[in-house]
Structure 1
Amino acid sequence: MDVQLTGGLLITLVIAVLAIVMLIKGLRIVQQSEAVVIERLGSYHKTLEPGVNWIVPFVDLPRAIKVKRYMGENAAAMMVETSRIDRRETVLDFPGQSVITTDNVSVMINGVLYYQIIDPQRAVYQVENLIQSIEVLAKTTLRSEIGKMELDKLFESRQEINASLETVLDEAANKWGVKVTRVEIQDIQIPDEIQDAMRKQMTAERERRAVVRRAEGERQAAIETAEGERQAAILRAQGEREASILTAEGQQQAIQLLTEALGANVDKSKVIGYLIAKDYLNTLPQIAKDGERVFLPYEASATLGSLGMISELFKKDGQA
């Protein structure tokens, strides 16, 4: 009786120990932003999500995936296998490579790619080496896109190239369960002789623009000067015209006043002669300043005679 009891307790203890071992061996804790692909007897079974998970020990096994890790003091990149699939956004720096543009210029281009594993199952089963496949795809796509452009267009269209690479890579990597979030071209290196030619071209272009701007400035200055002279001439002509009109109006008023004062029968030609003579007399002091001798034309003597005749008329009119 005691032997049977002892044997039963031993079996129970063994089963309990085995259950505890199985429980511990099958317990899997998956960190946040990670996933583990589980195979049961060589076939896909399920994907472990973040948190506490349990699998059947020795029957369910995690499937490893190749990833790139930077190890050592020099941070050298190495390909390693791990069963923990990181679902965070990851950066992949693909080294510089030679690319030929449509105008047959060889340039060295390196870039960086950001990707994220969306579907761990497809990332494990749809491609043998995910990282290598992404690198090769990025290089070939870069060659294809750059090969469609000329060198000058290459520097102007960097953002367009990035967007085009992102679209093509994301579409191709989608079947691998990978989302390409961003592609950036880091550096574009061109041969030294091409750089010298571009510098000379830029210098010549700057000099050409300076000459054009200087000529445009001189042209604009000439136009403004001519316009200013034109406006000044117009204003002078308008001033002279208005002065002439005012002078004529004044003389007409003077003739009218003299005619009214002397009577309707007075000879208007004598009145006009009188006014002209007055202008001569007013001008004589100014003429005398310009020289020691003053010569008066013959007509001036006749005009001054008219002045005397009009004076006599005024005197007679006053006596009357």
Structure 2
Amino acid sequence: MDPATMTSLITALAFVLVLVVLIIKTAVVVPQKSHFVIERLGKYSKTIGAGLHILIPFIDKIAYKRSLKEEVMDVPAQTCITRDNVSVTIDGVLYIRVVDAMMSSYGIENYYIAASQLAQTSLRSAIGKIDLDKTFEERETINASVVQAVDEAAQEWGVKVMRYEIKDITPPSTVMNAMEQQMKAEREKRAEIALSEGDRQSRINRSEGIRQESVLVSEGEKQKRINEAEGRAREITLVAEATAEGIRRVAEAVTLPGGDEAMRLKVAQQYIEEFGRLAKTNNTMIIPADMADMGGMVAAATEIIKNTSRRCQGKGQGPAVPAE
């Protein structure tokens, strides 16, 4: 290859190389959710967003690249002292997001370190205002306090604090043992209360069952007595009605022809039968003084029946019709 051809080839390669460098320096592609800070001759020029951008070679340069995505920062564990002078070790995480690429580049040297340090100091301040037992109960309040303190300062950095979360709270071992004993005593207390409540409810249920049973038994006994009383009353009524009807029929029969003699015979017969039954028993028997005057007794009984018959007729009851 002659020297002229070699020179032309080198010149062409140099031109291509310069062209490639110019393209690299001129065309810039910014990813989604990112901002690039451009400086021109060492001075802030502009902030470019996602897409293709053309810069002036050797004059414009990309000074800072900032992601607009939410970032997670691990806040180192630290020892904090509560209001009741108990040392606890606490660590957490901080969620931040760049909202202004220019301010985050020129407003502070390193917003990561600044946000982490400020979160630690804010956490110590919040823990110092509450007692140990409240640190476990008021995590949300502590988190909100840290977020508010860091976010107020981060506004000058073009950074937005999204949230802060406590990961672990570790008290000293002596305090842990005391807390475990306290929780054990509290669990035993709740179990004892639950057991006593169950026993009390069981006794209430048993007494209520006994009371209801007594009420039902008394109601049944009451109804039984009412039924028996009604039955006895009904029985007495029926016996009285039957007796009255028998007397009325006997009285009517006496007024019929031959009824007087039949009645005397019936009374005498019953008189003799009753004395005969009394004679068969071992009981003491009282007899009339004049046993010979049996006819007088029969006559007296017959007279009583006749008088009853006349009273019945006087009340509107006519004599019975003699049977054919």
- The answer to whether 1:212 aligns with 2:193 is yes
Deviation at 1:15, TM superposition (A): 11
State which of 103, 106, 110 in structure 1 corresponds to 2:87.
106
Q: Tell me, in whole angstroms, the C-alpha distance in 2 between the residues paired with 1:117 and 1:135.
A: 15
Q: After superposition, what is the alpha-carbon deviation per residue over 1:62-104, rounded to whole angstroms, capped at 9, x for unaligned?
A: 33xxxxxxxxxxxxxxxxxxx3222222211111001122222
- The answer to whether 1:121 aligns with 2:120 is no
Distance 1:263 1:201, change over 3 A: same
Deviation at 1:37, TM superposition (A): 1.4
Distance 1:18 1:249, change over 3 A: closer
Which amino acid letter does the alignment assign opposite residue 54 of structure 1? I
Deviation at 1:21, TM superposition (A): 5.9
Secondary structure in structure 1 of the residue aligned to 2:52: strand
Identity, in percent, stands at 44
Could you say which residue in structure 1 is the equivalent of 2:244? 263
Q: Tell me, in whole angstroms, the C-alpha distance in 2 between the residues paired with 1:62 and 1:215.
A: 76
Could you say which residue in structure 1 is the equivalent of 2:300? none
Could you say which residue in structure 1 is the equivalent of 2:44? 44
Secondary structure in structure 1 of the residue aligned to 2:84: coil
Which amino acid letter does the alignment assign opposite residue 107 of structure 2? Q
Could you say which residue in structure 2 is the equivalent of 1:173? 154
Which amino acid letter does the alignment assign opposite residue 28 of structure 2? R
Distance 1:17 1:99, change over 3 A: closer
Q: Tell me, in whole angstroms, the C-alpha distance in 2 between the residues paired with 1:224 and 1:109.
A: 52
Which amino acid letter does the alignment assign opposite residue 129 of structure 1? N
- 1:123-202 to structure 2, matched below 5 A, reads 123-202=104-183
Distance 1:19 1:208, change over 3 A: closer
Two-structure CA RMSD over aligned residues (Å): 2.9
Secondary structure in structure 2 of the residue aligned to 1:263: helix
Deviation at 1:167, TM superposition (A): 3.8
Q: After superposition, what is the alpha-carbon deviation per residue over 1:177-224, rounded to whole angstroms, capped at 9, x for unaligned?
A: 112223221111111011100110011111111111111111111111
Deviation at 1:250, TM superposition (A): 0.9
Which amino acid letter does the alignment assign opposite residue 224 of structure 2? A
Q: Which moved more, 1:245-254 or 1:43-52?
A: 43-52
Q: Tell me, in whole angstroms, the C-alpha distance in 2 between the residues paired with 1:20 and 1:233.
A: 108
Could you say which residue in structure 2 is the equivalent of 1:224? 205
Distance 1:242 1:24, change over 3 A: closer
Distance 1:101 1:17, change over 3 A: closer
Which amino acid letter does the alignment assign opposite residue 101 of structure 1? T
Which amino acid letter does the alignment assign opposite residue 87 of structure 1? L
Secondary structure in structure 2 of the residue aligned to 1:234: helix
Deviation at 1:248, TM superposition (A): 0.9
- Unaligned regions of 5+ residues in structure 2, if any? 1-13, 248-282, 284-304, 306-324
Secondary structure in structure 1 of the residue aligned to 2:83: coil
State which of 68, 73, 86 in structure 2 corresponds to 1:87.
68
Query: Scaled by the length of structure 1, what TM-score is found?
Result: 0.66
Could you say which residue in structure 1 is the equivalent of 2:29? 29
Deviation at 1:176, TM superposition (A): 1.1
Distance 1:17 1:112, change over 3 A: closer
Secondary structure in structure 1 of the residue aligned to 2:122: helix
Secondary structure in structure 1 of the residue aligned to 2:146: helix
Q: Tell me, in whole angstroms, the C-alpha distance in 2 between the residues paired with 1:233 and 1:17.
A: 112
Deviation at 1:127, TM superposition (A): 1.3
Distance 1:256 1:47, change over 3 A: same
Query: Scaled by the length of structure 2, what TM-score is found?
Result: 0.65
Q: Which has the larger radius of gyration?
A: 2
- Unaligned regions of 5+ residues in structure 1, if any? 1-13, 64-82, 267-300, 302-316
Could you say which residue in structure 2 is the equivalent of 1:249? 230
Which amino acid letter does the alignment assign opposite residue 48 of structure 1? I
Distance 1:194 1:35, change over 3 A: same
Q: After superposition, what is the alpha-carbon deviation per residue over 1:269-298, rounded to whole angstroms, capped at 9, x for unaligned?
A: xxxxxxxxxxxxxxxxxxxxxxxxxxxxxx
Q: Tell me, in whole angstroms, the C-alpha distance in 2 between the residues paired with 1:44 and 1:211.
A: 73
Q: Tell me, in whole angstroms, the C-alpha distance in 2 between the residues paired with 1:215 and 1:19.
A: 91
